[in-house]
Amino acid sequence: MSGNYAQQDPLQQPYDAIVVGSGATGGWAAKQLAEAGLRVALLEAGRAISPKEFTEHMPSYKLRYRDHSPEIVRTRPVQKQCYACMEYNYEWFVNDLENPYSTPAGKPFTWQRLRVLGGRSLVWGRQSYRLSDADFKAASRDGYGDDWPISYADLAPYYDIVERYVGISGAAEGNEMLPDGRFLPPMKMSCGEVLLRERVKAKFGYTVTIGRAAVLTQNYNGRLACHYCGPCERGCMTFSYFSSPFTTVKDAVASGKCTLITNAVVSHVDMDNALNKAQGVTYVDRLTRQVKEVRGKAVILCAQALESTRILLNSSTREYPKGLANSSGALGHYLMDHVVGGGASGRLPDFKTLPDANEPQRPNGIYIPRFRNTPSGNKHSRFIRGYGYQGGAGAEFNMSAEGYGASFKKAVKEGIYGIGLGGFGESLARWDNYVEIDTNLKDAWGIPALHIVMAHGDNEVALMEDAAATAAEMLESAGAKDIRVQANVEMPGMAIHELGTARMGADPKKAVLNPFNQTHDVKNLFVMDGASFVSSACQNPTLTMMAITVRACDQLIDRFHKNDI
Amino acid sequence: MKRRELLRAGVLASAAAALPRTPALAQNTAPSPELTPAQSGVDASKDLAAPGWKPLFLDAHQNETLIVLSDLILPATDTPGAKEALVNRYIDLVLAAETPETQRAFLNSLGYLDGESMRRYQAAFRYLKREDQDDLLHALAYPRANSGWTGEAGGPDVGHGHFEQLKQRIITAYYSSQTGERELGWDGAFAHGSYEGCNHPEGSHK
């Protein structure tokens, strides 16, 4: 079994680098470091994965409950809150009974987690957007919070590297809030989306663009173009959407310099207190429950924001009583997750297209970049920052047709032409949104669990109210009827964009990480994932996480070459 | 928690999940550990058509009522209806795995239908003449206008609510079946070329 890898490994310990987590960021760290010649141990808490378990081409009628299983909720009541956790693939998601966390009364937080090689990159939404200096330097403009210690110019070359490798389909728009990237050809818009694009440009002056998606529109980098079957979250036999096991992790292992250790549930970082250096990590074998250690010259946490922070909080020493590398006290704080729940939907009665069960399924929608509080626009009176929309339009079978009988059957097939927009709003970094260790709660491997405290604030509520009202106006401009407005604020975690809790910053008194994701306190300890974000912006964050990881690895490789680690 | 305890808990849980409810299901209940049945390649599509099928949750009268009701909501036309799609069997299977609250809610709605039928026609729904069944359903199927026939204007439309509950279950069961997929015109293939989207000249949508 995989638990023996460490002992059998020809690379021998200590490794040059230990990477914890094999998802979007961990895969990149392992690839970059191993391809640069460093000897890497890549630890994954879950099992390995095989394309044989992909189910994207299995019709739901072959499933016992046809993807309406009431049983998943017994072991995965939290995971089931995400659409992607389904009867097809629920085993990829953690068993909530084995992986508990707590929240205060009245402040629910949903925490979506996968423990399997590749982590959430297997089921992610694939939307890939750059941040701009309007995001990195937002605090300087509106006075709220802190600027990032890096600017767009620092990250742009790394966005390029990531995009060139991953393959992002999209259209260049020259929008000041959404820098263009190195795109593969964009996917097409539906007729309704084209109409919305034209009307929104004419009436509001805003941009409606096709989603920028980590889904290939042509054969690229050894992977095949999308065949438009639809449900990416069940896997892809042609590897057309980006997931780490079949790209970055594969490259890392192929380099001969990376040892993959699966089923390694990391509990904490081990310190050499005399030298103030991390000397490795301790993990529990997920299957045998044996406790094991791995030794390395550098420790890199890519376990996803909250897990990386949990590991640091569980690594307290006498020198760092409030969590490892936490002399700032900021570790665990400034938790963010994009606010969702504001939007509108309706139908476009002028489009007579019938729904077609054999139409290619586009795994992507449209995107409207942020238009509030832009550098060239006016300041909004009720909120700072802004939101972007995801959405789409097309013919659908009309399952909500009225009545019954033969006329109902006919109405279903006549369909409706639906259109909808949903906002993703910036979540302000606030000290009061935080995680800490719940001293009364452990997971199935005996590792202390998190207590997560987060609530969206007034600014997030105002964003969603505006997102709802403005979406309705945009749909109306396209001639939509029966417009339903939704001005909710969903519980934190629902965007599955957890960010912050080990933020970067130039000042060691205020931030956990330096601008290269190295902890201020411990020079060979790094956090290279969403935990490092200073602000959330409103764009889907994975592309930026990957670019930050590649940038941080670039500097780490330099330091290795200079023997400075 | 001790390792042995964890292991034992795991074994019992998977044994319970794998326990066949009817002999016909036995062949499909050996999932690989840590894979869903779907990921293991299990095809459960023939289970409901097994000879000797018996309901797991519904009693005989409820089952017969559901067959009659589902075939009124989704009748055979030029394509098969709910009865042929075994909609009742699927709903029974799902209900058997549902929470007691959800089970009760479904039986309440089915009971309401029979209650209304008894009140108006002094017979349970499934024994009514076809036109009486239709009259009753028609009265429940559309949201009541304010001066509704029941004389309960202003209050919640209880009957319509029950109807919608039953209808949702039935249409989910029907359109998720292989029969339902065919009804919607699916040809059974998964790839149909590239997504072509709008090919009209710019500005042609007004």
* Whole-number pLDDT of residue B29: 43
pLDDT, chain B, mean: 85
Candidates B39, B192, B197; nearest CB to A53: B39
Task: Say how many C-beta atoms besides its own lie within 10 A of residue A273's C-beta.
Answer: 12
B191 lies in some domain: no
Q: Of 3.40.390.30, 3.50.50.60, 3.40.710.10, 3.40.190.10, which CATH number belongs to A2-561? A: 3.50.50.60
Q: Give the gap in angstroms from C-alpha B32 to the nearest C-alpha of chain A.
A: 11
Interface probe, candidates A47, A61, A350, A402, chain B, greatest B C-beta count within 10 A: A61
Chain B residue closest in CA terms to A189: B197
Tell me what pLDDT residue B156 has: 76
Closest partner CB to A63 (pick from B38, B73, B137): B38
In angstroms, what separates the C-alpha of B105 from chain A's closest C-alpha?
Answer: 15
User: What's the whole-number mean pLDDT along residues A287-308?
Assistant: 97
Best probe of the A interface among B4, B36, B71, by most A CBs < 10 A, is: B36
Q: What is the pLDDT of residue B66?
A: 98
- Whether the Cβ atoms of residue A536 and residue A500 lie closer than 8 Å to each other: yes
Per-residue confidence (pLDDT) for residue B155, from 0 to 100 = 66
Average pLDDT rounded to a whole number, residues B44-54: 95
| Secondary structure of chain B in HEC code, one letter for each residue | CCHHHHHHHHHHHHHHHHCCCCHHHHHHCCCCCCCCCCCCCCCCCCHHHCCCCCCCCCCHHHHHHHHHHHHHHCCCCCCCCCCCCCHHHHHHHHHHHCCHHHHHHHHHHHHHHHHHHHHHHCCCHHHCCHHHHHHHHHHHHCCCCCCCCCCCCCCCCHHHHHHHHHHHHHHHHHHCCHHHHHHCCCCCCCCCCCCCCCCCCCCCCC
How many folded domains does chain B comprise? 1
Q: Considering the entire predicted model, what is its pTM?
A: 0.93
Q: Taking CA atoms, what residue in A is nearest to B204?
A: A195
In B, minimum Cα distance to A404 occurs at: B73
**pLDDT for residue A182 is more than 70:** yes
Residue B95 Cα, gap to closest chain A Cα (Å):
8
Q: Which are the contacts of A3, defined by CB distance < 8 A and separation ≥ 6?
A: A261, A263, A264, A285, A287, A288, A290, A292
Which chain B residues contact residue A192 at CB under 8 A?
Answer: 205
Average pLDDT of the residues in A488-516: 98
Average of pLDDT values for A231-256? 98
A56, A188, A358 ranked by CB distance to B195: nearest: A188
Q: Please, what is the average pLDDT of chain A?
A: 96
Cβ neighbour number for residue B204 with a 10 Å cutoff: 12
Q: Is B5 domain-assigned?
A: no
Structural tokens at position A536: 């959330």
Please give the pLDDT value at position B145.
67
Full residue range of the structural domain in which residue B121 is found: 51-145+156-181
pLDDT value for A565: 81
Cα gap A65→A73, rounded to integer Å? 13
Q: What are the backbone angles phi and psi of residue A346, rounded to the nearest 5°?
A: -170, -160
Can you tell me the distance from the alpha carbon of A409 to that of B81, in angstroms, rounded to the nearest whole number?
10
Q: What is the pLDDT of residue B24?
A: 37
Among partner residues A55, A227, A360, which is closest to B38 by beta-carbon distance? A55
Q: Is the pLDDT of residue A148 over 90?
A: yes
- Residue A462 is predicted with a pLDDT of 98
B169 lies in a domain? yes
Q: What is the mean pLDDT of residues A457-486?
A: 98
Q: Say if residue B23's pLDDT is above 50.
A: no
Listed as own residue / partner, the contacts of B180-188 with beta carbons closer than 8 Å and 24 or more positions apart are B180/A61, B180/B85, B181/A59, B181/A61, B181/A357, B182/B79, B183/A409, B183/A413, B183/B79, B183/B80, B184/A355, B184/A357, B184/A397, B184/A412, B184/A413, B185/A356, B185/A357, B185/A358, B185/A413, B186/A357, B186/A358, B187/A357, B187/A358, B188/A59
**B44 part of a folded domain:** no
What residues of chain B lie within 8 A of the CB of A359, using their CB? 192, 195
Residue A432 has pLDDT above 50, yes or no: yes
Query: What are the boundaries of each domain within chain A?
Result: 2-561
| pLDDT (mean) for A325-348 | 98
**Within a domain: residue B190?**
no
In a 13 Å sphere around the CA of A92, the CA atoms on its Cβ side amount to 29
Rounded to the nearest 10 degrees, how much is the dihedral formed by the CA atoms of A41, A95, A239, A187?
Answer: -120
Name the residue among A191, A227, A358 with its Cβ closest to that of B200: A191
Q: Are A471 and A343 a contacting pair, CB within 8 Å?
A: yes
Backbone angles phi, psi at A368, to 5 degrees: -120, 110
Least CB-CB distance to A444: which of B1, B90, B205?
Answer: B1
Asked if residue B73 belongs to a domain, the reply is yes
Residue B189 has a pLDDT of: 95
Tell me which chain A residues have a C-beta less than 8 angstroms from the C-beta of B43. 62
Distance from the B192 Cα atom to the nearest Cα atom in chain A, whole angstroms: 5
| Chain A residue at shortest CA distance from B34 | A91
Verify whether the Cβ–Cβ distance B176 to A359 is below 8 Å.
Answer: no
In angstroms, the separation between the Cα of residue B157 and the nearest Cα of chain A is 15
Closest among A252, A135, A195, A62 to A479, alpha carbons compared: A195
Residue numbers in A near B44 (CB within 8 A): 62-64
Instruction: Report CB contact under 8 Å: B183, A409.
Output: yes
Which of A114, A396, A409 should be substituted to probe chain B, the one whose Cβ sees the most B Cβ atoms within 10 Å? A409
